[in-house]
Amino acid sequence: MTEQLQNIINMFQYDFMVRAIIGGILVSLCAALLGVSLVLKRYSMIGDGLSHVGFGSLAIAASLNLVSPLEFAMPVVVISAFFLLRLSSNSKIKGDAAIALVSTSALAIGITVATMTKSMDSDINSYLFGSILSMSERDMWFSIVLSVIVLALFVVFYNKIFAVTFDENFAKATGTRAGIYNMIIAMLTALTIVVGMKMMGSLLISSLIIFPAITSMRVCKRFITVMISSALVSVVCFFIGLTISYLYSTPVGASIVIVNLAALIIFSAFGGIINFAGKKN
């Protein structure tokens, strides 16, 4: 036990681990907050779609030997976010089908480009499933800036975000410009996904958006408590997952998702007990 503890403490001695911890915690926090709004608006799949677009654009950037693939991926994913949002709200192809079309296409293009360029062979795996080593110093700084923006947004515009999430038509009818809030949330989601993707893997990053919100909604009954609980659950699950990954050399993204799944099961059981007790009284 003390040996384990010593190992956990040692974790903080590596620069790459410190970066992974700071960057990862902040990305988890942003994803959880944005996720509450996305999940409640039935936009969860947008996160999934965006991560595939992110993979495609990273693959293209790498094959073109761009110095900073991230800077290439960001605008591409942000534009796709606006596009997906429009598709979901007004289109003849229904939202879920449209997102599946976009995400599989992006994945296909990404994989094709990546296999054509030999230098990328080893990277595909880490792009798809993530790598603990991938958080660079720039990524970490970027996640700090991003989380400050997201936190400020949710504190200052909490009431508007609530109104737009709960009932977009009512918010619009009473003069709130719902479209702008949707776009800001989509844009920040896109940036969060791009930053978190290299560590979590593009196939797994959307879990950070969806799991904490769903988990918190099992137990919490108010919007504000769902928000706070999601943020906490997300950060705690990330840290536990990362620690497990470090101690037992398991893949980092997958470990975090499994911890999130465990949290969901625990919260569901807890919520079930509360409901059962509530009905008895």
Residues of this chain that interact with another protein (CB under 8 A) are 40-42, 156-160, 162-163, 166-167, 169-176, 217, 220-226
| Separation of alpha carbons 155 and 213, rounded Å | 18
Query: Could you write out the DSSP letters of every residue in 25-68?
Result: HHHHHHHHHHHHHHHHTT-HHHHHHHHHHHHHHHHHHHHTT-S-
- Min dist. Cβ of residue 158 to another protein (A): 7
- Min dist. Cβ of residue 214 to another protein (A): 11
State which residue, 11 or 40, has the beta carbon closest to another protein. Answer: 40
State which residue, 40 or 124, has the beta carbon closest to another protein. Answer: 40
State which residue, 179 or 239, has the beta carbon closest to another protein. Answer: 179
Query: Could you write out the DSSP letters of every residue in 98-141?
Result: HHHHHHHHHHHHHHHHHHHSGGGHHHHHHHHH--GGG--HHHHH
Dihedral Cα 226, 229, 231, 234, nearest 10 deg: -110
- Min dist. Cβ of residue 170 to another protein (A): 5
- Min dist. Cβ of residue 205 to another protein (A): 23
State which residue, 141 or 166, has the beta carbon closest to another protein. Answer: 166
Side chain identity, residue 168: E
Q: Are 135 and 16 spatial neighbours (Cβ–Cβ below 8 Å)?
A: yes
State which residue, 140 or 178, has the beta carbon closest to another protein. Answer: 178
- Min dist. Cβ of residue 227 to another protein (A): 10
| DSSP letter assigned to residue 178 | H
